[in-house]
């Protein structure tokens, strides 16, 4: 029998069209642009969040019947073609006694992350919260027996992180849906006449999540199933905003990342507040649209014991910088173990990102996209002040001759210094027809990415 495999490239393809129109004042969103800006403000300033994929799939951790299963960990039910009744038995083995909400939130916070998005229910249908509309929950079906999301939400509140939650529309466990036979990404089919039953179930669960955990973002997924429509998405969006007016909802609540054609031309008004490129950073960002790249740290979202393909801390830091320079947020994933630990390689990398963020956070938080199309040595982010613009020049490749050229910058430069320099010792700048040149010290303060702050008085002028 052919093993169903969901490839990462397919996931990337599914996510390639994150360009919802995201326009205020449209049929699904009647708020004014100012109201929308106010609602989106914290999210736009945050720039960096933690994604957590956790559920029953962590128990097998990529191994079924003693054999390694290909594909991503949280898809094992589908990839190993496990019948519902067999998969359900994993609940009796899900006992994350080492789970420590305070430690998880501290890890995210120390990494410089400002929010956390955790799976409340992934495609396998198992709930990490105390749902009253199913028994398939950590509270009722596992020996652990406690609501995981409530603990995390309370802890986020305590430590000042925004708590957000993921919800899969596609559900391999709910009796109204059946897994398809498409070996690739296997959308479910809806049982004849049972769609409304599922939508009611989903709405009841979403209300439970809002009532018990008060999430700031609802992050939908699994919307590619054919039976779920853009119309359904609009209704769910309105339902949720009525329950919690300042809630932020991603574009996967509707069909905004499918169809690809036309989507990035903004000629269709898809529902949702932000786009969700997956495992990729759009080459030139998504101007005019709020967006967030979600990415794994190894090759899986859910825990896989044998996946050691970890990205380096350098890659993670540079991804964060690259995304911020294009005006997006970075949602970086961890896949905790069945015992409740964030894997050590993830912890180590997050600590390194945190060390960098401690020094360079001002060049990430509250910044907007680079005014330069391309810079040969790195990236740029910027921050607008009443009478000046601060340009943060993120130098990946420290110039051997110490001369950092900012091509196309036409302004007279103001104060310039290294962000890591507590004394803010001024760096010499010169201007000519090419742009502005900064004289740097011979050694890079940080081999991964050093930040030079260049203040520009008045109106910023950059030659295209
Ligand atoms: O199929 C899922 C996958 O398991 C994972 O949750 C990612 C995260 O964005 N989303 C889906 C595919 O787009």
CATH of the domain at 133: 3.20.20.80
133 and 204 Cβ atoms separated by less than 8 Å: yes
Cα–ligand 1 centroid distance for 277 (angstroms): 11
My answer on whether 442 and 317 are in the same domain is no
| Nearest Cα to Cα of residue 19 among 265, 221, 326 | 265
Residue 122 CA: nearest ligand 1 atom is 6
For residue 335, being part of any structural domain is answered with yes
Ligand 1, from 120, 301, 332: best to mutate by most atoms within 8 Å of Cβ?
301
∠ CA 140-143-147, rounded to 5°: 55
My answer on whether 232 and 126 are in the same domain is yes
Q: What is the DSSP letter of 357?
A: H
My answer on whether 333 and 425 are in the same domain is no
Residues with CB under 6 A from ligand 1: 11, 14-15, 53, 72, 74-75, 221, 278, 294, 301
The pLDDT value recorded for residue 6 is 43
My answer on whether 269 and 401 are in the same domain is no
My answer on whether 352 and 393 are in the same domain is no
Q: Where does a domain end: 308, 333, 363?
A: 363
Q: How far apart are CA 366 and CA 372, in angstroms?
A: 18
Number of domains in the chain: 2
Q: Where does a domain end: 363, 394, 412?
A: 363
Cα–ligand 1 centroid distance for 306 (angstroms): 19
How much is the pTM? 0.94
Cα–ligand 1 centroid distance for 11 (angstroms): 7
My answer on whether 224 and 359 are in the same domain is yes
Take atom 12 of ligand 1 and give the residue whose Cα is closest: 11
For residue 371, being part of any structural domain is answered with no
My answer on whether 116 and 202 are in the same domain is yes
Cα–ligand 1 centroid distance for 124 (angstroms): 12
| Nearest Cα to Cα of residue 79 among 9, 2, 4, 8 | 4
Q: How far is CA 13 from CA 57, 110, 421, in A?
A: 23, 33, 43
Residue 185 CA: nearest ligand 1 atom is 1
166 token code pair: 């993921």
For residue 173, being part of any structural domain is answered with yes
For residue 402, being part of any structural domain is answered with yes
Cα–ligand 1 centroid distance for 213 (angstroms): 22
Cα–ligand 1 centroid distance for 29 (angstroms): 26
Which residues does residue 121 pair with via DSSP β-bridges, in sequence order? 127, 167
My answer on whether 355 and 384 are in the same domain is no
Question: What is the radius of gyration, based on Cα positions, of the chain?
Answer: 23
Cα–ligand 1 centroid distance for 207 (angstroms): 23
Residue 252 CA: nearest ligand 1 atom is 13
Range of the domain at 436: 378-457
The pLDDT value recorded for residue 16 is 41
Q: What is the DSSP letter of 25?
A: T
Collect all residues with Cβ–Cβ distance below 8 Å to 191 and sequence separation of at least 6: 175, 176, 177, 178
The pLDDT value recorded for residue 13 is 43
Q: Where does a domain end: 309, 329, 363?
A: 363
* pLDDT by 10s per residue, the chain, length 464: 333 334 444 444 444 444 444 555 677 889 999 999 999 999 999 999 999 999 999 999 999 999 999 999 999 999 999 999 999 999 999 999 999 999 999 999 999 999 999 999 999 999 999 999 999 999 999 999 999 999 999 999 999 999 999 999 999 999 999 987 655 566 899 999 999 999 999 999 999 999 999 999 999 999 999 999 999 999 999 999 999 999 999 999 999 886 433 334 345 789 999 999 999 999 999 888 999 999 999 999 999 999 999 999 999 999 999 999 999 999 999 999 999 999 999 999 999 999 999 999 999 999 999 999 999 999 999 999 999 999 999 999 999 999 999 999 999 999 999 999 999 999 999 999 999 999 999 999 999 999 999 999 999 999 98
My answer on whether 18 and 64 are in the same domain is yes
My answer on whether 90 and 132 are in the same domain is yes
Give me the DSSP letters along 177-201.
Answer: EE----TTT-PPEEPTT-HHHHHHH
Q: How far apart are CA 373 and CA 371, in angstroms?
A: 7
The pLDDT value recorded for residue 269 is 84
| Distance, first Cα to last Cα, the chain | 56
The pLDDT value recorded for residue 43 is 98
Take atom 5 of ligand 1 and give the residue whose Cα is closest: 301
Q: Which residue has the tokens 């992180």?
A: 161
């Amino acid at each position: 029998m052919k093993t169903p495999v969901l490839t990462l490239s397919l996931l990337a393809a599914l996510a390639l069209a994150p360009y919802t129109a995201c326009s205020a004042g449209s049929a699904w969103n009647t708020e004014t642009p100012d109201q929308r800006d106010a609602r989106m403000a914290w999210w736009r300033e945050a720039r960096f969040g933690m994604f957590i994929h956790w559920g029953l799939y962590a128990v097998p951790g990529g191994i079924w019947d003693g054999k390694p299963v290909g594909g991503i960990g949280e898809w094992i039910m589908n990839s190993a073609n496990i019948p519902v009744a067999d998969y359900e038995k994993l609940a009796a083995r899900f006992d994350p006694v080492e789970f420590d909400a305070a430690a998880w939130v501290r890890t995210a916070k120390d990494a410089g992350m400002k929010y956390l998005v955790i799976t409340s229910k992934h495609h396998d249908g198992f709930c990490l919260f105390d749902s009253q509309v199913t028994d398939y929950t950590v509270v009722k079906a596992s020996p652990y027996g406690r609501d995981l999301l409530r603990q995390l939400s309370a802890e986020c509140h305590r430590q000042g992180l925004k708590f957000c939650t993921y919800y899969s529309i596609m559900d391999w466990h709910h009796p109204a849906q059946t897994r398809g036979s498409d070996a690739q990404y296997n959308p479910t089919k809806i049982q004849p006449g049972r769609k409304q039953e599922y939508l009611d179930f989903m709405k009841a669960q979403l209300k439970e999540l809002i009532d018990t955990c008060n999430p700031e973002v609802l992050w939908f997924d699994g919307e590619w199933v054919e039976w779920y429509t853009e119309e359904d998405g609009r209704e769910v969006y309105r339902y949720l905003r009525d329950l919690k007016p300042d809630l932020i909802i991603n574009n996967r609540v509707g069909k905004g990342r499918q169809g690809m054609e036309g989507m990035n031309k903004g000629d269709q008004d898809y529902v949702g507040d932000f786009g969700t490129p997956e495992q990729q950073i759009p080459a030139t960002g998504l101007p005019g649209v709020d967006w967030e790249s979600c990415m794994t740290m190894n090759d899986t979202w859910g825990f896989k014991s044998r996946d050691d393909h970890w990205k380096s801390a350098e890659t993670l830091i540079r991804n964060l910088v690259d995304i911020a320079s294009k005006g997006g947020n970075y949602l970086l994933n961890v896949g905790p173990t069945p015992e409740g630990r964030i894997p050590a390689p993830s912890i180590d990398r997050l600590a390194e990102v945190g060390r960098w963020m401690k020094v360079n956070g001002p060049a990430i938080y509250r910044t907007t996209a680079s005014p330069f199309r391309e810079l040969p040595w790195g990236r740029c982010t910027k921050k607008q002040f009443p009478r000046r613009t601060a340009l943060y020049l993120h130098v990946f490749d420290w110039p051997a001759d110490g001369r950092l050229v900012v091509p196309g910058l036409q302004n007279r430069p103001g104060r310039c210094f290294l962000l890591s320099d507590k004394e803010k010792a001024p760096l010499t700048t010169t201007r000519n027809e090419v742009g502005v040149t900064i004289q740097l010290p011979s050694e890079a303060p940080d081999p991964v990415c050093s930040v030079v702050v260049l203040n520009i008085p008045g109106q910023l002028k950059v030659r295209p």
